[in-house]
Amino acid sequence: MFPKIVVFTGIDGSGKTSHSGAIKEYLVGRGFLVNYVHQFAPSIRYIRKLKRTFTYLLGGVEANLIRPGTIEQDKYCHAMRRNRFLIKMAQNLIVIYSLAIGLARTWLKIMLSINRDVVIFDRYYIDEIIRLEWKFGINLYKLGWTCSLIPSPYCMFFLELSPEVAWGRKETGSLSKILFWEKNERYIKWIRRVGKTWKVLSICTDKESFHESQRRIRVMLSLENRAQDR
């Protein structure tokens, strides 16, 4: 039996893990067989490392020798300018590879949930797309068709939260409010796109309490009667 897919998405600090975990406990308590999945996006670190390594190879520069104001730094900058097209192409290939891995990982986790009533995703494939877009400052909108290669969620909950509040919750000193604004704008763009074909429901987590949001989510899921039928 193919499980119903329930997704929680939104910017960092919006409450995805808290709400998805609470809904899992709620459904399990009502007799549902539930699988819970953390769908973390691919590591940006290794992608950037591959890009830097490719640039180093083109410029003949040892990575550990690059320092500001050194000859190696000049070589690196020259390699970036001279091989801009090749570097861009390599980055695109790496991003496409990462998206392919994301698709495979999503399908694997769904197939591992066969014979469950519900699989709850804390983040989904579009979160991987958004993170790649945001980190690299690129536009992957033309690759949005890849979302059709994965099952449409039974219900996707977009947890809306103002970037200021999100930044306050996740402040680490390395991200600015501007970056949170940029990421939030990308989420809004992609939610509008997938909302044309997927069932997407918005929950404003900064305008109501956690328990109020949970009550709304439970009603929107409309799974109560099925629990009694099992």
Q: Is 227's pLDDT higher than 70?
A: no
| Cα–Cα distance measured from residue 65 to residue 185, given in angstroms and rounded to the nearest whole number | 38
Q: Is 52's pLDDT higher than 70?
A: no
| Cα–Cα distance measured from residue 80 to residue 229, given in angstroms and rounded to the nearest whole number | 63
| Cα–Cα distance measured from residue 230 to residue 210, given in angstroms and rounded to the nearest whole number | 29
Q: Is 153's pLDDT higher than 70?
A: yes
Instruction: Return the CATH architecture of domain 4-229.
Output: 3-Layer(aba) Sandwich (3.40)
The pLDDT value recorded for residue 97 is: 84
Q: What is the DSSP string of 9-72?
A: E-STTSSHHHHHHHHHHHHHHTT--EEEEE-PPPPHHHHHHHHHHHHHHHHT--GGG--TTSHH
99-146 tens-digit pLDDT: 898 899 999 999 999 999 999 999 999 998 998 888 777 888 888 899
Q: Is 229's pLDDT higher than 50?
A: no
Instruction: Give the count of alpha carbons within 13 A of 123, CB side only.
Output: 18
Contact 23, 217 (CB under 8 A): yes
- Measured torsion, CA atoms of residues 192, 195, 201, 206, in degrees rounded to the nearest 10: -20
53-111 tens-digit pLDDT: 665 555 555 555 555 555 556 666 666 666 667 667 777 787 888 889 889 999 999 99
Contact 47, 98 (CB under 8 A): yes
- Tell the residue number behind the tokens 């600015």, with chain if given: 176
Q: Is 183's pLDDT higher than 60?
A: yes
Selection from 94, 91, 98 nearest residue 42 by Cα:
98
